[in-house]
Amino acid sequence: MKRLLLVLMLLASPLWAVQPDEMLDDPVLEARAREISAGLRCLVCRNESIDESNAELARDLRLLVRERLVEGGTNVETVDYIVARDGEYVLLRPNAQGANLLLWLAGPALVLLGLGLSVGFIRKQARRRDVGGETDTLSKAEEARLREIMRD
């Protein structure tokens, strides 16, 4: 029973999304296709590579990758072709250059800005307390006026 369950779990694994009829006869080309497919996003599933996805669109992209490799394209040329066709969103790990560089750096920059503003605010509050002495104490005239009001 345990073996049957294990076999069923392995068959349900997304790693088996590549169908036997898609695989290339040349093991070197197939390995290159798998390497490329692992870095391309399924546009239907969004956070799965086309190698893991069972969607029809992912199958079409896997076939396109293999077709380009059989025609003699390099890995870079194949990826560039698909990016030119479908946009950079198809990359699971977008390049950190151009407009993407701005997006990659925006998060850390905003964290540093927030830390700087926090430190500045805390220092300003500390300076206010230091310059004015204790701000909660009343002057002699204020104390006298307060006693006068309290008597009434």
Cα separation, 90 vs 59, in Å, equals 14
Same domain assignment for residues 28 and 57: yes
Same domain for 11 and 75, yes or no, is: yes
The answer to whether residue 7 scores a pLDDT higher than 60 is no
What does the mean pLDDT of the chain come to? 82
High-pLDDT (> 70) share of the chain, %: 83
- The residue range of the domain holding 115 is 100-151
75, pLDDT greater than 80: yes
User: Domain total for the chain?
Assistant: 2
Q: Are 86 and 109 within one domain?
A: no
Q: Can you say how many angstroms the Cα of residue 57 is from the centroid of all Cα atoms in its chain?
A: 23
**Model confidence, pTM:** 0.57
For residue 95, being part of any structural domain is answered with no
- 147 with 77, same domain? no
For residue 126, being part of any structural domain is answered with yes
